[in-house]
Amino acid sequence: MTARSTRRRSLGTAAALAVLTAGFAGTAPVAHAADAQANQWYLDAMNAEEIWKTSTGEGMKIVVIDSGVNPDTSSLKGQVLKGLDVAEASGDEADDYSGHGTTIAELIAGTGAGGGIKGLAPGAKVMSYRVSDTELQNNEKVNAFDMRDAIKAAADSDAQIINVSMASDFYSSPIRQAVEYAQAKGKLLFAGAGNNADEVNKIQYPAGYPAAVAVGATGKDGKVANYSTHGDFIDIAAPGSDVPEWCDKNLRSYCVGEGTSYATALASASAALIWSKNPDWTANQVLRVMFESAGRGEDWKEGTVSNYLGHGIVRPGAHINRGVGEPGDPDMSPLTNTRVGGKEGTAGGDASSATPDPSAPASSQAPADTSGDDTVVAGSGAESDDSGLPVWAIGAAAAVVVLAGGAFAVVRKRRSA
């Protein structure tokens, strides 16, 4: 990995749509309920209160590979376990140099105490593995291999889920190998697809590696966000727009932002909810159920995936409350159609030994040419199914309308790479 390839950024926007004031109690940041929680529209959309009657993510540990996580916010007290400073910069993993990592941790596992962000999986715990972004790399001497090292360390930890809400423009074989190592160890690694769709729509990493779960972002109306990077590498989508975030590293106020960072956090939390309910499942089974229970449109052809939503929009309540989705083969990865990361992998498998199963359902070969695609997702009103989830995740609102080229593909190039 070259020094240049270490340049990365967080996938949440720095620009705020609104500033939400907050106060301090001692040195711990505290916000008011009207600030953060009033903007957590997706919790109502997912009918989170009903989900939490069955699963809150208890017993799950999620590694947050990011800018650090401040464990002293009102919403994170008692939620952050011992982590690791992989950046090797000033401070440690509890020193969040941008506020981004703390936001991600709260979106996943925040308790909502003091009016802070309430996580989708408030029963889960997070572990901060701090890495550098471009700004920190420019200002301080850091570990040039911190992303690779963080993923490998997370794979060797007792956490089940790894959240990477950061991205680089540059492909790195060592980081790809680390992602494959994590898959072989039975982990689920969720990574933000990127926020450059309305600019260059360039594939981002680690989301672009086959063994990572690439997450796209949607808005309140169920439309694919115009910034959400798309292509044949997208696996699933989650709400990412109009989401509360800490404005900066001072953690004095919340803003409202957008990005696949936040969609990734909600995908990780969704996995934690499902896995907590089914603790004997492997990562492969959890992910397969996520794919099968995801919200899809009426025109979505069986056996296909979207270059914009992947298998659909996360819908943990569909499984938890209504049993949608079958876990299937514990040893077969729904990402790569290889026998990897199953019960043996959890005990310490080897990614290099993963072998494809020719009888597995195809989901990873070359799609039809989608160059020149200009795709939108139809919006909807406030209708909901019996789980309380708006139609944006189950009906026509999630259906991709093709204006040019093909938006669906039975299988995708990157899976065979």
Residues involved in catalysis: 66, 100, 261
The answer to whether 317 and 46 are in contact (CB under 8 A) is yes
Using CA atoms, how far residue 106 sits from 60, 245, 290, in Å, is 15, 9, 22
Cα–Cα distance for residue pair 20/128, rounded to 1 Å = 25
The answer to whether 276 and 120 are in contact (CB under 8 A) is no
Pairing between strand 166-167 and 19-25?
unpaired
